[in-house]
C-alpha cells in the first residue's frame, strides 16, 4: 500500500522569496514516480513536476525544483522567486506500477496551502 | 482535446436523494480515477478503472457509493442515498498508461452539497 504525507497544512511566503514544501511517502514498490500537483483557486489540478525513483538527479522545472531523498522517502518541493500566481494548494503524489492489466495507482497527500504575499 | 469533462459542476441535493456524477475522460486514455476532496481528509482515491475494468475500489466509503464505466468514454459515480457527510468536491482524472511515469489529467470537479 502507498501512503503520502504532507505535514504542513499551510505556508506563507513573501513575493520573490523561496518556500519549501515537505512530503514523505511510503511504498513497497521499486518502480514508482513522484509528482507535485498545483491546485489554484480555480480548482483545476495542474502537474508541476515529476521525479522518477530510479533517477538520482533532482528534477527542475523553471522556478520549481525537488529534493528527492530516496532512502529517507522524502520528496520536497522548492518554489524559488515566488510569484502571486503561485498561491494555491500543492499536492504531493506517488504513482506505482501495479501490473499491465491494472495500470498505475496514484495516491495523493493531504495538501499544503501556499499563500504568496505581496 | 477538451480535457476531462465532468458534470455537473455544482450539485445541491437533499439528504436521502440519489446523486449521479458524470465523467468523460480524454479520448484515448485507458485509466480513470475518481477522487474525493474534503478539508479534513484531503484528496482521497475512491476507485480507479483500467481499460474500463474496476481495479481498486478500496477507497469507496460504503455501499452507498458505486461507480461504473460502461465504455472507454464515460464513467459515473453514484451515491444512493446521499448524506450530508458526502458533501465534497469529487474529481475525475484520466491517463494513458505508460508505466509508472503516467501523468493524470483532472476534470474541474463537481462540488456536491447535501443538505
Residue A104: which of B31, B35, B41 has the nearest Cβ? B31
pLDDT band at B1 (very low <50, low <70, confident <90, very high): low
- Whole-angstrom distance, CA of residue B26 vs CA of residue A46: 15
pLDDT band at B72 (very low <50, low <70, confident <90, very high): very high
To the nearest whole number, what is the mean pLDDT of chain B?
93
pLDDT band at B40 (very low <50, low <70, confident <90, very high): confident
Residue B55: which of A45, A95, A103 has the nearest Cβ? A103
* Joined grid coordinates for residue B14: 437533499
pLDDT value at residue A40: 94
- Are the beta carbons of A117 and A12 closer than 8 angstroms? yes
Chain B environment of A32 (Cβ under 8 Å): 100
- Whole-angstrom distance, CA of residue A15 vs CA of residue B64: 46
* DSSP at A81: S
To the nearest whole number, what is the mean pLDDT of chain A?
91
pLDDT value at residue A34: 93
How many residue pairs from chains A and B have C-beta atoms closer than 8 A? Answer: 78
SS3 B49: strand
pLDDT one-digit tens code per residue, A63-115: 999 999 999 999 999 999 999 999 999 999 998 777 777 777 888 999 999 99
Amino acid at each position: 500500500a502507498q501512503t503520502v504525507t504532507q505535514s504542513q497544512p499551510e505556508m506563507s511566503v513573501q513575493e520573490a522569496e523561496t518556500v519549501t514544501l515537505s512530503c514523505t511517502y511510503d511504498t513497497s514498490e521499486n518502480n514508482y514516480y513522484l509528482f507535485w500537483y498545483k491546485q489554484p483557486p480555480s480548482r483545476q489540478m495542474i502537474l508541476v513536476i515529476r521525479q522518477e525513483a530510479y533517477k538520482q538527479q533532482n528534477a527542475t522545472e523553471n522556478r520549481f525544483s525537488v529534493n528527492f531523498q530516496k532512502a529517507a522517502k522524502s520528496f520536497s518541493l522548492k518554489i524559488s522567486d515566488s510569484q502571486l500566481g503561485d498561491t494555491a494548494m500543492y499536492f504531493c503524489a506517488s504513482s506505482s506500477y501495479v501490473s499491465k492489466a491494472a495500470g498505475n495507482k496514484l495516491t495523493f497527500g493531504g495538501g499544503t496551502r501556499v499563500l504568496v504575499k505581496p | 482535446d477538451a480535457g476531462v469533462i465532468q458534470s455537473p459542476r455544482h450539485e445541491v441535493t437533499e439528504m436521502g436523494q440519489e446523486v449521479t456524477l458524470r465523467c468523460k475522460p480524454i479520448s484515448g486514455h485507458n485509466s480513470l480515477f475518481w477522487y474525493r476532496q474534503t478539508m479534513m481528509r484531503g484528496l482521497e482515491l475512491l476507485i480507479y478503472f483500467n481499460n474500463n475494468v474496476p481495479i481498486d475500489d478500496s477507497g469507496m466509503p460504503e455501499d452507498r457509493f458505486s461507480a461504473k464505466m460502461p465504455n472507454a468514454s464515460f464513467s459515473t459515480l453514484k451515491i444512493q442515498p446521499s448524506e450530508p457527510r458526502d458533501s465534497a468536491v469529487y474529481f475525475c482524472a484520466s491517463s494513458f498508461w505508460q508505466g509508472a511515469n503516467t501523468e493524470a489529467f483532472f476534470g474541474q470537479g463537481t462540488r456536491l452539497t447535501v443538505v
